[in-house]
A and B are shown apart, each in its own frame.
Chain A
Amino acid sequence: MVRKQKGNRKKRPIAVTVIASAIVVLFIVRLYQVFKPLFDMGVFQLGMIGPLYDSGGLTEMGRALLDSVFYFILAIGLVIVLIGFLRMRRWSWVVLMSWVGFSMVVGLVDYFYFEQPNYAIMASDVVIAFALSQAEVQRIFGIRMDIGESLL
């Protein structure tokens, strides 16, 4: 039986591990954000009490559930990106970079206008953005092959 040689596999640089760790941190933060609104509303102690919407729109319970669902979708998205990323797929690099870009815009608007940014997410975004910008990482994901045309 021929054993598969380890040397044939693409070597994963340290930056990829750092990014994967940052995604895990983001996932934990998002998971916390999934449960926090429900916990604050006492759903785990008392169950779902009251209607989710009334004539004026969503009730407090409804909004908590919506927030929870939104963050749950984000958390699932992160898991999918993490899998793609660990398998070093190009699409995962593009999705992740766009994601942290968007997330940082939201974070900066929060910081400058509402003064309540989530520093943990901001820090994870920064780490991911810097790690994704490494030339070595970009080459592994097939992003940097030659110097592209300058737009900025």
Chain B
Amino acid sequence: MSPSSDRPTVPLGTSDMDLLRKFEPVVRFTKGEQFYPTDVERYVAECSLWAHYPDGREEIIVRQGELTLENLVQQRPAVFGTVRFLRFIETLTLSEAAQALSDQSRLRRRLRNYFQAGMGRLARGGFLPRLADALFSLSFLLRGKVSSATAAAAELAYHRMHDDDEKYVYYGRVIRQNGWTVLQYWYFYCYNSWRSGFHGVNDHESDWEMTCLYLFEEEGQLVPEWAAYASHDFHGEDLRRRWDDVDELDFMEGHPVIYAGAGSHASYFRPGEYQAEVTLPLPGWFSGLMRAWNKFWTEILDQPAGNPFRIPFVDYARGNGSRVGHGQSHAWSPVLVDESTPWVSQYRGLWGLFARDPISGENAPAGPMYNRDGSPRGSWYDPLGFAGLDKVPPPPQALGYLQKNCDEITARQNELENLIPMKAGDLQVLGIKLKGMEGNPHLAKQYAALEKKINALAEEVKNLRRERLENGALLQGLNQRLERMKAGVQDDPRAHIRHLAEPVRAARVRFDRAAETWAAISLSLMLFAVAGLIFFAPNFIWAGLVIIMILFVLAESILRGAFIETMARITLILALISALILFIHFWEYIVVGGLVAMGVFLMLQRLRELTG
């Protein structure tokens, strides 16, 4: 029985659309999700097209209501550095913004579509990450940001479109590369509301997400082998799961299930809450200092590593909301695309607002075929490399390739079996000839030439012998694998994964309610304490600040059950400061003491050597 006999298959020659439909995923959303995969036509019709020039100017190219997929792709020459972008929501006046926010809350009440955060992300991180988070929020004052009112207006606009014609769309593409048939599913969302709706990292107009399925050919059928979902912080091999890995890959009536992150729309294999960490954007010199400090802390002091400037964010992929896909309440409307689809290949701009965010988190993405800078997107032109499958042959071919490897090595071993004794014999013949030349000064020149030839031959024989030995070991390994494959023994389905995306455990803090309350109020309490310090004890401001910080971190650590580790770290930092003070005041004594100690140590060592 073939290992793939329990999988759904389709006959070779099935049309691309039927192939896509046969394996189309089921997407399960989190309750409270506001945007679902939709079509680009209606979205573009709601947008205006803009250009941002390198001198900072912005110019409208096509007004809202006049834009279509046809005139989106018109050739429009521009200077280097120009960014073209769509704008889904036009700039709102104060009254329009207020109206949008109020209508949004009415809409949510009507739909009863509320999101419950549960254990908040701030309670999941520590006190210092929370402080860093406050700085991250403040950084939006300097960076470009998509406003909450824009998010509200986008939600309203999307629901207007949705009410007119409820449609759930994926854009499918079939690629045949190196023996694999790749089914690529692209999902377009009008808006990414991760920050405004779900306390996440960013918001941006438009969102493109992608998943891939990899099929191979066996006995005239196409058989699914791998599924790869694009996700935050993971790349290459970590993105894919094998079809038979039922602990990692969920199915509904033979269709793989995607758990979409709330607002972010990132794709996950398992339902749950995923903790993503974002490093605070720090100046280069400060990051360098932090690296040096971390090196000193972990390598010299041998302490566990930690980074207070990483902010924990939660991506909620609970799968308890709407479902789209085969046999679900909402069905897919698939659309086939490829490089001949004009809007895919000919529009290289952004699919939403260019927020001028230097770290790009708030800028809209480009289309499926391009990166934000207009360069080709790797997952489009190299879908195998996207999931680290470029070096993996389809299973039926793997056996042939392995057998070919074994045959080639065996042939080489046979060749070496004859070659080595022949070369070794030649070496001995030359050796005895060389010996015969010794004691004859007039043969010095010939002797040197022969010696050189002998040395080269000796090296060659040595290399051949090493090659034979190494080939033997390699052949043994390959043959073992060949036997396993012939017997139908499969590798561990997760052997290729280096970092497995896992949902965070539900209970990571003690006294949940107290921890949540503390997380909500601690930053404000600290600010009150600092204000009190400035008012009541201005002479002790620095010491007071440090002591307040220590007390808050310790209080937090008690709630999180990490008092001992935290207290040990604080004490060690205080010890470093104290040691520095002692060194400044007593460096002569410390140096003299060190030299005397070294002298005594060396003397004792030498004396021990003398006395045996």
On whether the beta carbons of A150 and B306 are closer than 8 Å, the reply is yes
On whether the beta carbons of B547 and A97 are closer than 8 Å, the reply is no
Q: Given A97-B568, A150-B126, does the pair A108, B553 have CB atoms closer than 8 Å?
A: no
Residues of chain A within 8 A of B567, CB atoms compared:
94, 97-98, 101
Q: Given A105-B574, A143-B564, does the pair A151, B581 have CB atoms closer than 8 Å?
A: no
B333 within 8 A of A: no
CB distance from A95 to the nearest CB of B (A): 11
Q: Give the bracket for the number of chain A residues in contact with chain B.
A: 20 to 34
Of B304, B308, B540, B570, which one neighbours A101 at CB under 8 angstroms? B570
On whether the beta carbons of B553 and A107 are closer than 8 Å, the reply is no
On whether the beta carbons of B304 and A151 are closer than 8 Å, the reply is no
Residues of chain B within 8 A of A111, CB atoms compared:
581
On whether the beta carbons of B565 and A133 are closer than 8 Å, the reply is no
CB distance from A98 to the nearest CB of B (A): 6
B424 within 8 A of A: no
B438 within 8 A of A: no
Bound state CA distance, A121 and B215, in angstroms?
Answer: 71
Of A130, A143, A147, A151, which one neighbours B575 at CB under 8 angstroms? A130
CB distance from B305 to the nearest CB of A (A): 7
Interface of A, secondary structure class, is helix
B104 within 8 A of A: no
On whether the beta carbons of A129 and B575 are closer than 8 Å, the reply is yes
Residues of chain A within 8 A of B305, CB atoms compared:
150
Bound state CA distance, A98 and B568, in angstroms?
Answer: 8
CB distance from B505 to the nearest CB of A (A): 11
B interface size (C-beta, 8 A)? 41
On whether the beta carbons of A151 and B571 are closer than 8 Å, the reply is no
Of B302, B556, B579, which one neighbours A151 at CB under 8 angstroms? B556
Interface of B, secondary structure class, is helix
On whether the beta carbons of B562 and A151 are closer than 8 Å, the reply is yes
A44 within 8 A of B: no
On whether the beta carbons of A119 and B586 are closer than 8 Å, the reply is yes
Q: Given A132-B568, A149-B560, A151-B127, does the pair A126, B306 have CB atoms closer than 8 Å?
A: no
B184 within 8 A of A: no
Residues of chain B within 8 A of A144, CB atoms compared:
304
Bound state CA distance, A122 and B581, in angstroms?
Answer: 9
On whether the beta carbons of A150 and B307 are closer than 8 Å, the reply is yes
CB contact list, A94-152 vs B, under 8 A: 94, 97-98, 100-101, 104-105, 107-109, 111-113, 117, 119, 122-123, 125-126, 129-130, 132-135, 138, 143-144, 147-152
Shortest Cβ distance from A123 into B: residue: B582
On whether the beta carbons of A126 and B579 are closer than 8 Å, the reply is yes
Bound state CA distance, A144 and B508, in angstroms?
Answer: 19
Q: Given A122-B581, A126-B578, A134-B302, does the pair A148, B571 have CB atoms closer than 8 Å?
A: no
Indicate with 1 or 0, residue by residue over A69-99, a CB within 8 angstroms of chain B CB atoms: 0000000000000000000000000100110
Residues of chain B within 8 A of A100, CB atoms compared:
571, 575
CB contact list, B79-107 vs A, under 8 A: none
Residues of chain B within 8 A of A108, CB atoms compared:
543, 574, 577-578, 581
Residues of chain A within 8 A of B306, CB atoms compared:
150-152
Bound state CA distance, A133 and B568, in angstroms?
Answer: 7
Residues of chain B within 8 A of A132, CB atoms compared:
568, 571
CB distance from B482 to the nearest CB of A (A): 40
On whether the beta carbons of B553 and A152 are closer than 8 Å, the reply is yes
On whether the beta carbons of B543 and A143 are closer than 8 Å, the reply is no
Of B127, B539, B557, B574, which one neighbours A129 at CB under 8 angstroms? B574
On whether the beta carbons of B301 and A133 are closer than 8 Å, the reply is yes
Bound state CA distance, A16 and B212, in angstroms?
Answer: 58
CB distance from A108 to the nearest CB of B (A): 6
Residue from B128, B553, B557, B579 having most chain A Cβ neighbours under 10 A: B579
B550 within 8 A of A: yes
Bound state CA distance, A96 and B61, in angstroms?
Answer: 71
Residues of chain B within 8 A of A117, CB atoms compared:
581
CB distance from A33 to the nearest CB of B (A): 19
Shortest Cβ distance from B585 into A: residue: A119
Other CB < 8 Å A-B pairs besides A119-B582, A122-B582, A135-B302, 5 of them?
A: A104-B578, A105-B547, A149-B508, A150-B126, A152-B306
24 contacts between A and B (CB under 8 A): A101-B570, A104-B571, A104-B577, A104-B578, A108-B581, A109-B543, A112-B542, A112-B543, A113-B539, A125-B578, A126-B579, A129-B574, A134-B302, A143-B564, A149-B126, A149-B508, A149-B562, A150-B305, A150-B307, A151-B127, A151-B128, A151-B560, A151-B569, A152-B566
Report the 3 A-B pairs with minimum CB-CB distance, sorted nearest first.
A150-B306, A129-B575, A101-B571
Q: Show the binding face of A for B, using Cβ within 8 Å.
A: 94, 97-98, 100-101, 104-105, 107-109, 111-113, 117, 119, 122-123, 125-126, 129-130, 132-135, 138, 143-144, 147-152
